[in-house]
Chain A
């Protein structure tokens, strides 16, 4: 005989899970007991939301679904922001929650929450398990659903009595077979032909690289296609890092906080090839006008993305990697020289903001991002929080062979620190740098405990402006500088906070100091917190 709890641990082993992030409670204890006895590393977080973010950082760095675990009721509800964050960015997660005993379901007993119901809009799929015998099938399906098609979080809610229930044997299914779920991966041949002829005719084509390219592992293909065809590339925030920023035809990030030259190229294009980009409102402010000026080719694994925000002239449903391979094989695109000359000129005209002002007593954030990227290894992973710090990083950090992880869809403050911990645990040999604002850092500061407990060597930059900078900037522009709820008075001494955890830390109040301390930071093999004092009036762009 084998218990449901043991089956759950066995399923994870069968899926080659190496690490689970979580927080305990009585309703998940049976499972945790087997998880503890398994070879899977358990990471105790300090608040459940961060378990989901850590699993998300892990998933994004490793390319495998991240696993997080919580108890019933408040444990499960604390996960919701993390689940929604992953859902919006299409990150594969397996979320395991304990639930009250089956016979008590629906009676509002202690620590009961209808978590499958609450997470309905934020999960790709969810299960409320009714029998231990269903667990192997459910886990097999969950991993399949989370990691195929358009990836996303899958929730498995397991009542505590089902974890204790004994069944005769454990057999892990070879394959998941779900009648209604058969994602299409190869692009339609006719549509590919149409797309290629549109590219051959185009005078001013632009490739838009979105987060879908990262998720599809289609980075090499995208770079190869861009190089072969000579089509200039712009990226959304989620697509940053796919094309090394120093490549000649990379123009930068589009959108509200994007680079002027990238937006300009988009605006003048007569053909826009959207690759795994969902045309979010931050990336494209007037999607309805986009199709008036240009022919639009939209490639996405999720058919529901096509036509959602922008009407595509040539829709292609499929795995970007396979579609781009088809493009590479069949294309003979030659981009008119005038267009190339024009975009290169725009690029030359572009002046990155933020020249170091050495007298001010502050670190200039934009130039400091450029310094940081020059000091780091080519394949370093960068995480950024939400706010000015995110835009400073997205616009100025030069991502080469590495990755840029941020909460692009939901825009969740408090994401960067836990995501960095997850990413480092997935890729221990790569440098991981986490950039936060003082507001967002405080939303996840408790994870310094998790960091210490697991000796995670990440480097944390706190951009301290004693403001919720991005909102403060909105208040300056629109609300007569009335700083309602944006002044972070009562900020602690972050260096002392770090000391309290035994983490080396330092404060930088000038560009030179910041650069010197950053150099020092990267030579150490321990975590480090570098607090940078930033002018509260420093602009985002």
Chain B
């Protein structure tokens, strides 16, 4: 089962390696990882998607909490958050196929960000499921390259995974 962890950390050098080191030391594989600063520039948020069971996630959460620069760890509850991911997909495209591909792009609410004589580059911001769908629709044309950012996640409604006051 996939778990999405939202981790607030102090924005310091080395923190990312501390966090990811915790996973690798225990032999847990990270499915996806995304980092960026938050509304407070001294604080960054790391979103990690990890595949595992409840025990693994509980262990990881507790071990993460032990790291001094970690401010807060929240395991997001399934169905209670929105997630998305940015993908750039470069696909083979001869002139006569262009309209066809553009149709797919339009249907999937993606965007064409670069056009060349033999290729198109498509940008999609969506969840993992839709990204997979787009990729499978484009596959027959020949995918040249895929670049995916990690998953970002935020809770639905007014709840936040922010640190409490201060």
Contacts and interface: CB of A to CB of B under 8 A. Distances in A.
B68 A121 contact: no
A179 B14 contact: no
Interface in B22-48: 25
B17 A120 contact: yes
Contacts of A124: 68
A180 interface: yes
A307 interface: yes
Given A304-B59, A304-B62, A307-B58, A180 B21 contact: no
B18 interface: yes
Given A121-B25, A179-B166, A302 B66 contact: yes
B68 A304 contact: no
Nearest to A117: B17
Interface in B137-166: 163, 166
A180 B17 contact: no
B10 A180 contact: yes
A128 B68 contact: no
Contacts of B62: 303-304, 307-308
Contacts of A117: 14, 17
A340 to B, nearest CB: 37
B86 interface: no
Contacts of A125: 67-68
B59 A116 contact: no
Given A117-B17, A121-B21, A308-B59, A179 B66 contact: no
A304 B21 contact: no
The number of chain B residues touching the other chain, given as a range, is: 20 to 34
Interface string A280-311: 00000000000000000000001110011000
A123 to B, nearest CB: 10
B68 A178 contact: yes
A240 interface: no
Given A116-B14, A120-B18, A180 B63 contact: no
A124 B58 CA distance: 20
Interface in B61-88: 62-63, 65-72
Contacts of B70: 180
Interface in A152-206: 178-181
A419 interface: no
A463 B32 CA distance: 54
Nearest to A306: B62
B68 A145 contact: yes
B25 A179 contact: no
Given A121-B21, A304-B63, A308-B59, A180 B69 contact: yes
Given A121-B25, A304-B65, A304-B66, A179 B17 contact: no
Contacts of B18: 120
Interface in A105-155: 116-117, 120-121, 124-125, 128, 145
Contacts of A307: 58-59, 62
B65 A128 contact: no
A181 B13 CA distance: 18
A456 B163 CA distance: 51
Interface in A91-113: none
A120 B21 contact: yes
A346 to B, nearest CB: 35
A116 B67 CA distance: 14
A179 B67 CA distance: 11
Interface string A381-396: 0000000000000000
Contacts of B9: 180
Contacts of A308: 59, 62
Contacts of A179: 10, 71, 163, 166
Contacts of A120: 17-18, 21
B71 A180 contact: yes
A181 B68 contact: yes
Nearest to A177: B166
A124 B70 CA distance: 13
A350 to B, nearest CB: 37
A131 to B, nearest CB: 13
Nearest to A178: B68
Contacts of B69: 180
A145 B66 CA distance: 11
Contacts of B71: 179-180
Nearest to B60: A304
Nearest to A120: B21
A337 to B, nearest CB: 40
B68 A180 contact: yes
A121 B24 CA distance: 11
B43 to A, nearest CB: 8
Nearest to A308: B59
B74 to A, nearest CB: 13
Interface hub of B21, B66, B71 (most chain A Cβ within 10 A): B66
Contacts of A303: 62, 65
Interface string A415-436: 0000000000000000000000
A121 B21 CA distance: 8
A181 to B, nearest CB: 5
A390 B107 CA distance: 72
Nearest to B18: A120
A167 to B, nearest CB: 20
B108 to A, nearest CB: 40
Contacts of A116: 14
Contacts of B14: 116-117, 128
A156 to B, nearest CB: 13
B158 to A, nearest CB: 23
Nearest to B73: A180
A279 to B, nearest CB: 14
Contacts of A178: 68
Contacts of A180: 9-10, 67-72
Interface in A252-302: 302
Nearest to A303: B62
Contacts of B166: 179
A289 to B, nearest CB: 17
Contacts of A145: 68
Contacts of A181: 68
Nearest 8 CB-CB pairings of A with B: A304-B62, A180-B71, A125-B68, A180-B70, A181-B68, A179-B71, A120-B21, A304-B66
6 contacts: A125-B67, A179-B166, A180-B67, A180-B70, A180-B72, A304-B59
